[in-house]
Amino acid sequence: MAHKEWIMNSVREQMPEKRWRHTEGVIQSAIQLAKQYGSDPSKAELAAILHDVAKYWPVERQREVLIESGYAEDLLAYDKPLWHGPVGAYVAQKEYGIADQDILNAIRYHTSGRVGMSLLEKVICLADYIEPGRDFPGVEDIRRLSASSLEEALVEGLDGTIRFLLEQKQIVYPMTILARNALLKEAKETKHK
Ligand code: DGI
Ligand code: FE
Ligand code: FE
């Protein structure tokens, strides 16, 4: 699809080559997870292409767009690495003409997660953790769990993020904790069925 190619080239121009290679890995993992769990691979691809579009924007520009988007809510009071998700979702809609709300939400919540994540949101958040280029401690555990449960794999991923933030004496965005708790509950409910 020509439109997709154009978006890919445009996104690529807005980040260092290394981050583009990460994005290619997320595209690959997102398509694979979508096929495995019955989400739409084409939507997963588009969300993956755009998920980090705003990651390397100057922080002042991110702040402006966050305010303009109306997605700011409490986020301005929390750490800047959380901003590029909502900023990316707004840009995807405004600049790239993405109208599908599920794709926009997958971009918006890819860093924090949220309570009541859709299948596509889970696929993108998990693909971001397990794409082939990732090699942080514990990534193999998440990859192993991803073969059998999106929710269990995501809990493992979010636990790692939360643990890391605690060790670094960083502020934890409450939505990250709420997302983790909700996914843990879902994982347990699915298991006991
Ligand atoms: O954009 P990526 O590097 O591919 O991955 P990401 O979108 O998951 O962003 C990860 C960054 O966001 C990482 O530096 C940790 C940070 N982060 C994630 N959740 C929280 C957080 N930072 C704070 N302070 N609080 C959070 O809850
Ligand atoms: Fe990101
Ligand atoms: Fe990413």
Task: Supply the residue whose CA is at minimum distance from atom 13 of ligand 1.
Answer: 81
Q: Give residue 192's pLDDT.
A: 73
pLDDT for 25 beyond 90: yes
Q: Is the CB–ligand 1 distance for residue 121 below 6 Å?
A: no
Q: Which ligand is nearest to the CA of 48?
A: 3
What residue type is assigned to position 3 of the chain?
A: H
CA–CA dist 22, 7 (Å, integer): 16
- Rounded distance from Cα 82 to ligand 1 centre (Å): 6
Please tell me whether the overall predicted TM-score, pTM, comes out greater than 0.75 for this model: yes
Place 193 in a pLDDT band, splitting at 50, 70 and 90.
low
Residue 190 pLDDT class (50, 70, 90 cuts): confident
Q: Tens digits of per-residue pLDDT, 127-156?
A: 999 999 999 999 999 999 999 999 999 999
For 95-116, what is the mean pLDDT?
A: 98
**What pLDDT score was predicted for residue 150?**
98
Residues that place a CB less than 5 A from ion ligand 3: 52, 128
The pair of structure tokens assigned to 9 is 């080239």
Mean pLDDT of 158-179: 98
Q: What is the pLDDT of residue 72?
A: 81
Cα distances from 176 to residues 59, 76, 162, 170, in angstroms, run 21, 15, 8, 13
Q: What pLDDT is attached to residue 191?
A: 79
Q: Is the CB of 23 under 6 A from ligand 1?
A: no
Domains of the chain: residue spans and CATH: 4-191 (1.10.3210.10)
| Among candidate residues 149, 83, 14, the one with its CA nearest the CA of residue 157 | 149
CA pair distance 154, 138, nearest whole angstrom: 12
